[in-house]
Structure 1
Amino acid sequence: MPTVEVTDLKDGDFLLDVREDDEWQAGHAEGALHIPISEFVARYGELTEAAPQDGRVNVICRSGGRSAQVTMYLVQQGIDAVNIDGGMKHWEAAGRPVVTDAGQAGVVI
């Protein structure tokens, strides 16, 4: 399973958040693309339109389980994808910003 640590990510790296809507609304990484795992197959085209053609897709969820499933699917599709170890829990613990859609400080639930 291709994996990356939160501390290895740079500002501007492409993030795909696969958490459910209530988790996203509570707080997320600014600029991430949100496609809940429960809707992922139906909305796959949104990822292919938004993802950089020659860049990596960094997949994140709350703790790494759901994002691991999506990462494996993407790798099978020939996409350069990695799972973010520890997910949003590690993101928040590393001091990375967590925001709401309104731009306010968010929380990871």
Structure 2
Amino acid sequence: MSEMENVSVTAIPEGARILDVREDYEWEAGHAPGALHIPLDQLPERLDDLDPDTDLAVICRSGGRSARAAQWLEAHGYSAVNVTGGMGAWLEAGQPMVSDNGKEPTVV
């Protein structure tokens, strides 16, 4: 298997689609604007939701689940990088966030 690429939140490739693989409650609390949400355990059956020609920056809370997802996607012919530090690093870097629960966006 090829080496998966890890990128920091500030080095996400221009034009990359952010794929958030966290659980629903985590997504609702806070996520990157415009990100696509597919929980890790739903990825195999929702693979058709992704465009194989789009570069994906895969993110979770801290980087573990997104690393597994990015490796799996790469093995299935998709272009994916793992976002190091996940949404925790996203928040620390002051990147924009939105929530779906009417509260101030946060990382849970």
- TM-score, normalization: structure 1? 0.87
Distance 2:62 2:74 in 1: 20
1:8 to 3, 6, 11: 11
Q: Which residue of 1 aligns with 2:55?
A: 56
Which portions of structure 1, spanning 4 or more consecutive aligned residues, are displaced by more than 2 angstroms?
A: 9-13, 101-105
- Pick closer, same or farther for the CA change 1:103–1:15 going to 2, 3 Å: farther
1:33 to 33, 36, 47: 36
1:42 aligns with 2:52: no
* Structure 1 residue ranges without an equivalent (≥5): none
- TM-score, normalization: structure 2? 0.87
C-alpha displacement at 1:25, in angstroms? 0.3
Work out the percentage of aligned pairs sharing the same amino acid.
49
Distance 1:29 1:103 in 2: 15
RMSD over aligned CA atoms reads 1.9
Q: Aligned letter for 2:86?
A: G
* Structure 2 residue ranges without an equivalent (≥5): none
Alignment of structure 1 residues 91-102 onto 2, 5 Å: 91-101=90-100
C-alpha displacement at 1:105, in angstroms? 3.6
Q: Report Cα offsets for 1:15-69 as digits up to 9, x if no partner.
A: 0000000000000000000000121111111123xx6x2x411000000000001
Q: Aligned letter for 1:76?
A: A
Distance 2:14 2:101 in 1: 20
